[in-house]
Chain A
Amino acid sequence: MALNASLQGKTYPAVRVTLDQARVRTFAHAVDHRGPGIPPTILTVPEIEAGLRNVVADPELGVDLASVLHGEQVYEWSRPVAAGETLIAEASIESIRGRGAMQFLTLRTEFRDERGDEVAVARSTLLIRGEG
């Protein structure tokens, strides 16, 4: 089933996520982070909460997690993130493109700190396999 292209531009509610020390340590160990700082891709934690979690639960989209592949990912950092920090992440559907049984959904997520300053931007392109 084709994704509803009219959902382009849809923005999901912003989420607040605190990067607690224990989670950061587990993450760092898993990706073999040896420093300095904490793993740059720790942003994946708020990104999933703000974006993917909403996408797979969105009845207007009807996406089954089992049919989703990750095609492409971009992060642009304005500054490094620290353990213990709280980020506000907001995801929106930037584009929906179809190509036969394969469709592409691009999510854009903005990360801000509690002062409202931009920390980073992420762009995630999901490949969604249709039934065709």
Chain B
Amino acid sequence: MSVRFEDLQLGQELPGRTRLVTREDVLAYAEASGDHNPLHRDDEVARAAGFPRVVAHGMYTMGTLASWLAEWAGDAAGLRRLHVNFRAPVLVEETIACGGRVRSLDPRSRTAVLEVWVTLERDGATEWPIRKSEAEVRLA
């Protein structure tokens, strides 16, 4: 079901993906990545830093975005570059949504440049943990 370069159009949105960020996944991410900052493990540390509870690693959120893009590309070599700006925290038990839109297409290299983002809904407003970010994907 992987996407073909010829099927893409400028401005086209990618089929998004949502993901509930669980405390267990954030702990597992800390263990696997080696980032043991207590902000991602200990509610008291998070509260002292001004958050209501434990915060996910920025790299957890970027990792989720990158793996979703790799699956969309359909080829482990497809994702060439990913540049993200972290703009808001993600708290555990929130649901993140990964999204993207085709910004430019290069037929010669069969490469698409995508605008990508991660959003979530909090207290009736949309937050943008990752915004104004860009991916370069080479397609079959």
Asked if A115 lies at the interface with its beta carbon under 8 angstroms from chain B, I say no
Q: Known contacts A26-B31, A40-B70; decide if A75 and B82 are in contact (CB<8 Å).
A: yes
Write out the residue numbers on chain A whose beta carbons fall within 8 Å of the beta carbon of B79.
Answer: 40, 77
Counting contact residues on chain A (CB < 8 A from B), the size range is 35 or more
Stretch in A4-12, A29-37, A99-107 touching the partner: A29-37
Interface size on B, residues (CB 8 A): 39
Least CB separation from A82: chain B residue: B76
Indicate if the CB atoms of A72 and B34 lie closer than 8 Å.
no
Indicate if the CB atoms of B81 and A74 lie closer than 8 Å.
yes
Indicate if the CB atoms of A41 and B63 lie closer than 8 Å.
yes
Q: Which of B46-71 contact A (CB under 8 A)?
A: 49, 57-60, 62-64, 66-71
Asked if B125 lies at the interface with its beta carbon under 8 angstroms from chain A, I say no
Give A13-45 as 1s and 0s: 1 = Cβ < 8 Å from B's Cβ atoms.
000000000011011111111111111110011
Write out the residue numbers on chain B whose beta carbons fall within 8 Å of the beta carbon of A40.
Answer: 66-67, 69-70, 79, 82
Alpha-carbon distance between A31 and B59 when the two chains are bound, in angstroms: 9
Write out the residue numbers on chain B whose beta carbons fall within 8 Å of the beta carbon of A57.
Answer: none
Asked if A94 lies at the interface with its beta carbon under 8 angstroms from chain B, I say no
Asked if B4 lies at the interface with its beta carbon under 8 angstroms from chain A, I say no
Q: Known contacts A23-B32, A30-B60; decide if A72 and B86 are in contact (CB<8 Å).
A: yes
Indicate if the CB atoms of B86 and A41 lie closer than 8 Å.
no
How close is A79's CB to chain B, nearest CB, in angstroms?
Answer: 6
How close is B14's CB to chain A, nearest CB, in angstroms?
Answer: 15
How close is B117's CB to chain A, nearest CB, in angstroms?
Answer: 14
Which residues does A use to contact B, with CB under 8 Å? 23-24, 26-41, 44-45, 48-49, 52-53, 65-66, 69-77, 79-80
Which residues does B use to contact A, with CB under 8 Å? 17, 19, 25-26, 28-29, 31-35, 37, 39, 49, 57-60, 62-64, 66-71, 74-77, 79-86
Identify 12 new A-B residue pairs, CB closer than 8 A, beyond the known A40-B66, A40-B70, A48-B35: A30-B29, A31-B64, A35-B70, A37-B70, A38-B76, A40-B79, A41-B59, A48-B33, A70-B58, A72-B84, A77-B79, A77-B80
